[in-house]
Structure 1
Amino acid sequence: MSALTDNTRNGALKRNLLRQMLKASVFKFGEFQLKSGQISPIYIDLRECFGHPELLMLISEALSRQIESSGVQYTGVLGIPYAALPYASVAAGQYLKKPLLIVRKEAKSYGTKKLIEGLYQPNDQLVLIEDVVTTGGSILDVLKVIQAESLVASDVFCILDREQGGSQKLKDAGVTLHSLLDMNTVLTFLFSTGAVTEEQWYGIVKALNLSYTSPVKLTIDKDLENLSNLPYVENARTPLAERESLTESSLNRKIISIMRNKESNLCLAVDYTTTSEVLQMVELAGPFVLAIKLHADAITDFNEDFTRKLTTMANDMNFVIFEDRKFGDTGNTNLLQLTGAQKIASWADVVTVHAVQGNDSIAGVFRKLALDPAYRLSGILLIAQLSTKGSLTALSGYTESAIEIGNDNRDVVSGFITQTRVSACSDLLNWTPGVNLDAKTDSTGQQWRGVDQAIDVQQNDIIIVGRGVTSSSEPVQQLKRYRQIAWEALTRNDASIH
């Protein structure tokens, strides 16, 4: 039942499953005879999901995530015939990238006459996918078939465990059952959302001989949750001292050292259009921030005297210069832009880079400059997510591709521009825009949230604040305010700090 209360991506995914199942009429009430012969006042018809593509994909994603997080070693995926086959097909092909195997209920009388279709070798280890487990009989039947072909399966992943003895029977056969949902979770959700009454709840529990004593009512919003706003990984944040020792990035060693010395994980976005305005704000902000973020191409009187003054202030006040250029071209063009008229690589410590150009254009060019002592540039931030409403970074696969590039190039990739923690690599830093303590949105599509949401829930490390400070009549007071709140949120459970 923790899925109904967990403030995690996995918990939200399961709540969304239940919301969409309810809307798709998966839960039916009346008098139904199950395959086992048992009479049930509730029938959970997962075949209804086939008519709802988003729900089918969501279930397949959830099963895939559960398989990956289990740590089980396997070479192929087998769907229990026939209701589980659509989920197994999508999970194997779309998410797990593993061969799909199918067991026929009876061998063909023509052709190869095989009972098992798919690519496999003797002694291959399979994971099995089932939709609903009641007694486990269907799974045990399939196990006999695959064992006769010298295949091995010790783990079954199902959407729903009806808690009717199937888990124990499978255990007795040497098989572990992993379920996305169980009846306790389903019934608590249905009762909490008003889909079943208290009388119905007791009737279902009695008819199915479940061991629950009384219904639990939770506060559950009926609206779908945005999964992209929650961490992609669930392991706890590693202490800063350990992250500093683990990192392959010279930039991150510098950043974490500054964070610890200044007790600041605050980056100030100074989006002014004249050099004098920028330098005046930097003079005020320097003592309180980890980094100053600029848009050089928005500064109308940009010149080398400005960058000399800026780098001197960065050295004196110990902060990082962050040029938010968002490079996204071919490798050669990136190189020309970095060393061209604005000489960005000579004064910026870190720049932002789109993942759209791919690994080769990113790794080679930026690593070359980061390793060259003639340049100040020492790392990049990959854009994994943006804070603007309707951003195309939310398209399927974009964030995952950015994560892969970052994970593979941690000497030059310092981290990500993101809305939530995206990588399991603890040495990569998550920088997040869209933080404002006093406003939620503006007229141009910018969306803001508070520090607790950004750091505690979404597991980001560094907050990027702009107008919350630069538009204030008292910017120093706001800088102190944001720095204190953000640092306390980041280090609250960090034993290396306290």
Structure 2
Amino acid sequence: MTRSCVPSSTGSDKNVKTMDERIDALVLRLHEIEAVKFGSFTLKSGLQSPIYIDLRVIVSYPDVLTAVAECMWDVLSNNGAKFDNMCGVPYTALPIATCMSLNHDCPMLMRRKEVKDYGTKKAIEGAFEKGQTCLLVEDLVTSGMSVMETVHPLQHVGLKTTDVVVLIDREQGGEQTLKKNGLKLHAVLPLSRVLKVLEKEGKMSKELVEEVQQFIAANQTGGDKPKEEKTKRETYAGRAKIASNQCAKDMFHLMEKKKSNLCVAADVDTAKELLELAETLGPEICMLKTHCDLYPDFTEDFGEKLQAIAKKHDFLIFEDRKFADIGNTVVGQYSSGVHKIADWSHVTNAHIVPGSGIIDGLKSVGLPKKRGLLLLAEMSSKGTMANGAYTEAAIQMAKDHKDFVMGFIATNPNAWKVEWSKGLINMTPGVQLQVGGDSMGQQYNTPMNVICNNGSDVIIVGRGIYKAQDPAKAASEYRKAGWEAYEKSVK
């Protein structure tokens, strides 16, 4: 029989009498060890922030880690929270949750951020029973999306989630996101209190406090997505009107009509498997991504057969060729050879390493056939060099060739803040219903984060569908998740 964890106040610091005094002392200690910094910092979103909170450093200061865990436990006690076990959001909250678990004899679970494709393949590790209530432990909350990425896997294995405890609430909309999802936020420190204590103790000037307050007010997440996304996202149908490439227009209209922004990466071993999968998944997808050079049974009539299935189920074909040679060479690779890609694939893609000449070469073949080209602006693999100046160069090349370049393979187009690119399509690979990665460096992300937070248009899903026990059912689940994220993003 299991028992519930019912927090009771610890009052562990005998030198400080009240909880308020303990919390104020913790704020000063966090500032002392530079867990709270002020200056000019580039955030993950690309924004420049005057404040940066880095709680990863607390693992090197046992006194701070202990104080953080005890303050979080006391907040739960004061608010009457009850739960059966707890789970720390990877990775910074794991030592905090461990400390709470050890000090208060409360069972702990762990979520794998990278789910392995061997062994037990579990997303949640630990001993638990379905129906138990699991407390979420996080270091800080901004939009609430990182918490939700742990909530979903917990719910998937039958655990209930009702409460979230954090050390710092940045007060940018996270509490509202969690509330919408049935979660109560217990925060030790609203960011406003951090500022108040540091100003009072002479660690911040009044001007700096006002600067941080203005930044927080101007960068509310709107509950679950950045303000930029909330105010400027346009519908697929609206963007079809401003698209210059015919394939992009067709794609936008197709997605709107079919209510699907799902592309399946069908990385199967044979042409026979590919055609069977296309027939099975066709009703759910807007695009099918192929690798024709993988198929030992490729024949001249492959393209005709695949086009017939695409026409029947109304989806586009994307041959993931990743051209990367000079213009003259790619002309032949695209138009002739064994595969004759331009004859049957609506879309292909290219690296920009050779320069813009590669686009000129592919355009000479594809534009008369009303084909579209995707540029690899960013990639989802670990250690990728497709970022920074490389990404900026890809964006500029697309601007110079909008008649043929239909969009990008990208991971975070929201960070680019490129207004003119609304007529282009952004597609993101490495999508799964729960976050993680694999042993080959592929990094996964959720449909909600990809569409709402990062500003992409199409989710590309591979093994999560074609290796599922029921691929058609899995495709349906991903299609619904992707479309719900899109609808949320345009409201």
- The normalised TM-score by structure 1 is 0.55
Residue 381 of structure 1: aligned partner: 374
Question: Could you say what secondary structure the match of 1:342 adopts?
Answer: coil
Residue 262 of structure 1: aligned partner: 258
Residue 142 of structure 1: aligned partner: none
Give CA-to-partner distance per residue, 1:285-318, whole Å, 9 cap, x none. 1111000000111111111122211011111211
Q: Measure the CA separation in 1 of the matches of 2:272 and 2:308.
A: 15
1:315 to 1:231, Cα distance in 2 relative to 1, 3 A: farther
Whether the aligned pair in 2 keeps the contact of 1:384 and 1:402 (CA below 8 Å) is yes
Q: Measure the CA separation in 1 of the matches of 2:246 and 2:439.
A: 39
Give how far 1:9 is off: 2.2
Residue 246 of structure 1: aligned partner: 242
Residue 344 of structure 1: aligned partner: 341
1:330 to 1:206, Cα distance in 2 relative to 1, 3 A: closer
Match of 1:325 among 305, 310, 321: 321
Give how far 1:269 is off: 0.6
Equivalent AA in structure 1 for residue 353 of structure 2: V
**Unpaired segments of 5 or more residues in structure 2?**
1-38, 58-171, 173-188, 217-225
Q: Measure the CA separation in 2 of the matches of 1:194 and 1:211.
A: 9
Residue 365 of structure 2: aligned partner: 369
Give how far 1:4 is off: 11
Q: Measure the CA separation in 1 of the matches of 2:193 and 2:354.
A: 48
- 1:434 lines up with 2:430 in the alignment: yes
Instruction: Give 1:247-326 correspondences, 5 Å limit.
Output: 247-326=243-322
Q: Measure the CA separation in 1 of the matches of 2:478 and 2:208.
A: 51
Equivalent AA in structure 2 for residue 419 of structure 1: T
Whether the aligned pair in 2 keeps the contact of 1:252 and 1:414 (CA below 8 Å) is yes
Residue 45 of structure 2: aligned partner: 9
Instruction: Give 1:197-216 correspondences, 5 Å limit.
Output: 200-204=198-202
Q: Measure the CA separation in 1 of the matches of 2:227 and 2:425.
A: 13
Give CA-to-partner distance per residue, 1:213-267, whole Å, 9 cap, x none. xx99x9xxxxxxxxxxx99999722222221111111001111111111110000
Give how far 1:201 is off: 2.4
**Unpaired segments of 5 or more residues in structure 1?**
24-184, 186-190, 219-229
1:488 to 1:369, Cα distance in 2 relative to 1, 3 A: same
Report sequence identity in percent.
32
Give how far 1:372 is off: 2.3
Equivalent AA in structure 1 for residue 381 of structure 2: T
1:210 to 1:257, Cα distance in 2 relative to 1, 3 A: closer
Question: Could you say what secondary structure the match of 1:455 adopts?
Answer: helix
Q: Measure the CA separation in 1 of the matches of 2:355 and 2:443.
A: 28
Q: Measure the CA separation in 2 of the matches of 1:233 and 1:493.
A: 7
- The normalised TM-score by structure 2 is 0.56
1:450 to 1:231, Cα distance in 2 relative to 1, 3 A: farther
1:209 to 1:194, Cα distance in 2 relative to 1, 3 A: closer
Equivalent AA in structure 1 for residue 45 of structure 2: R
Q: Measure the CA separation in 2 of the matches of 1:273 and 1:347.
A: 19
Question: Could you say what secondary structure the match of 1:281 adopts?
Answer: helix
Question: Could you say what secondary structure the match of 1:483 adopts?
Answer: helix
Whether the aligned pair in 2 keeps the contact of 1:415 and 1:429 (CA below 8 Å) is yes
Residue 471 of structure 2: aligned partner: 475
1:298 to 1:232, Cα distance in 2 relative to 1, 3 A: farther
Q: Measure the CA separation in 2 of the matches of 1:404 and 1:233.
A: 22
Equivalent AA in structure 1 for residue 373 of structure 2: I
- 1:397 lines up with 2:389 in the alignment: yes
1:211 to 1:411, Cα distance in 2 relative to 1, 3 A: closer
Residue 464 of structure 1: aligned partner: 460
Whether the aligned pair in 1 keeps the contact of 2:464 and 2:474 (CA below 8 Å) is yes
1:278 to 1:202, Cα distance in 2 relative to 1, 3 A: same
Equivalent AA in structure 2 for residue 254 of structure 1: D
Corresponding pairs, count: 305
Q: Measure the CA separation in 1 of the matches of 2:291 and 2:364.
A: 23
Give how far 1:321 is off: 0.5
- 1:417 lines up with 2:413 in the alignment: no
1:4 to 1:478, Cα distance in 2 relative to 1, 3 A: farther
Give CA-to-partner distance per residue, 1:410-429, whole Å, 9 cap, x none. 11001000111144310011
- 1:485 lines up with 2:473 in the alignment: no
Residue 359 of structure 1: aligned partner: 356
Give how far 1:473 is off: 0.6
